[in-house]
């Protein structure tokens, strides 16, 4: 149906206000019913997860082929390096074997009870995704995989992040470099507690550390176990000073090139027992009867 020039000009002027109203409506809907928006977003991610995997597969193969060609060019230098490294590793293997025997003997003498191994599942990173966060990745998982919210994600070298959203076929992992990430850590050499805060860069900052015990350049950073679902001792990275007075953490995990992640469930690893002698609190609307020895004397 033909439309006059004046009508087309009028409709053209109304497009921008209409889009602004739609955007404001979506924002208000997300604020009013956040669980609904999160559920819808994860449903869309579940539907697109197989397509993301197909897109990521050729990129991974090309990256692998490029790495193989580079290794062939540097084969002679790599062979010399490996010979030297093998000699050093043989020495440290003997040291580690002696320490392992000593450790086993000490545990046997102390009747050591080992911790239960946490359960974990493995997933492939199908694509980097921003979503609500600047630094997050999406994992492709099987429908029957038991992945929980607040699960801990690690790659082969160290801590990568934690699970924030879970769908039927995908899970979103918030990386430790995101500005929403705050993590209590321990500095191994200086034996100081601190907070590692992401700032959307590749190197999270170290904040709230003791001013009389400054972080040491190059020392290891590990988790300190103050969060219930995050045990102590997981490798996070090492300290580096970008400039004097500004310590940051170089992550141990390869966060810029994540391919495979393992999601650990540490929430049920340790269940504290009830304190002996604890008096149960009364239910709402009921009165609590004290034991005879705690009742006030009359007269």
Residue 220 near residue 189, CB atoms below 8 Å: yes
Residue 258 near residue 160, CB atoms below 8 Å: yes
What pLDDT, on the 0 to 100 scale, is given for residue 154? 93
Helix (H) or strand (E) holding 77: helix 75-110
Dihedral sign, CA of 270, 273, 279, 282?
positive
Residue 167 near residue 129, CB atoms below 8 Å: no
Helix (H, G, I), strand (E, B) or coil at 187: strand
Closest CA to 46 of 128, 140, 147, 125: 140
What pLDDT, on the 0 to 100 scale, is given for residue 19? 84
Q: Where are the domains of the chain?
A: 12-56, 120-264
CA 244 to CA 296: how far, in whole Å?
Answer: 64
Residue 216 region by backbone torsions, left for phi larger than 0, else alpha for psi between -120 and 50, else beta: beta
Instruction: State the residue for tokens 């009830």.
Output: 274
Instruction: Report how many helices (DSSP H) and strands (DSSP E) the chain contains, helices first.
Output: 3, 12
User: Is 8's pLDDT higher than 80?
Assistant: no
What pLDDT, on the 0 to 100 scale, is given for residue 129? 52
What pLDDT, on the 0 to 100 scale, is given for residue 299? 46
> Residue 81 corresponds to which tokens in the numbers above?
């390096």
Residues 134-193: tens digit of each pLDDT? 788 888 888 777 888 888 999 989 999 999 888 888 889 999 999 999 999 999 998 899
Buried b (16+ CB within 10 A) or exposed e, 156-179: eebbbbbbbbbbbbbbbbbbbbbe
Residues 35-57: tens digit of each pLDDT? 777 777 777 777 777 776 676 77
DSSP state letter for 290: P
> Residue 236 corresponds to which tokens in the numbers above?
């996070």
CA 70 to CA 80: how far, in whole Å?
Answer: 16
Closest CA to 171 of 269, 57, 38: 38
User: Is 98's pLDDT higher than 90?
Assistant: yes
What pLDDT, on the 0 to 100 scale, is given for residue 217? 94
């Amino acid at each position: 149906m033909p439309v006059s020039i004046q009508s087309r000009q009028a409709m053209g002027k109304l497009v921008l206000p209409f889009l602004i109203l739609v955007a404001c409506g979506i924002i208000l809907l997300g604020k009013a019913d956040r669980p609904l928006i999160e559920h819808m977003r994860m449903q869309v991610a579940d539907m697109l997860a197989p397509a993301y995997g197909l897109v990521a597969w050729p990129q991974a193969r090309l990256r692998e082929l490029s790495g193989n060609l580079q290794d062939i060019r540097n084969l002679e230098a790599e062979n010399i390096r490996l010979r030297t490294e093998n000699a050093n590793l043989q020495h440290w293997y003997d040291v580690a074997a002696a320490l392992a025997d000593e450790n086993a003997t000490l545990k046997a003498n102390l009747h050591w009870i080992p911790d239960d191994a946490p359960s974990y599942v493995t997933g492939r990173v199908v694509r980097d995704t921003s979503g609500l966060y600047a630094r997050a990745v999406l994992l492709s998982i099987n429908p029957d995989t038991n992945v929980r919210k607040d699960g801990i994600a690690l790659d082969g070298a160290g801590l990568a992040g934690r699970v924030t959203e879970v769908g039927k076929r995908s899970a979103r992992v918030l990386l430790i470099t995101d500005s929403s990430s705050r993590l209590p850590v321990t500095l191994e050499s200086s034996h100081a507690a601190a907070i590692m805060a992401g700032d959307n860069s590749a190197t999270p900052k170290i904040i709230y550390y003791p001013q009389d015990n400054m972080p040491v350049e190059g020392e290891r950073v590990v988790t300190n176990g103050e969060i219930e679902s995050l045990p102590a001792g997981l490798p996070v990275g090492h300290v580096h000073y970008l400039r004097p007075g500004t310590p940051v953490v170089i992550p141990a995990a390869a966060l810029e090139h994540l391919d495979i992640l393992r999601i650990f469930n540490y929430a049920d690893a340790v269940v504290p027992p009830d304190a002996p002698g604890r008096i149960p609190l009364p239910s709402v609307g009921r009165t609590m009867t004290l034991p005879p020895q705690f009742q006030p004397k009359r007269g």
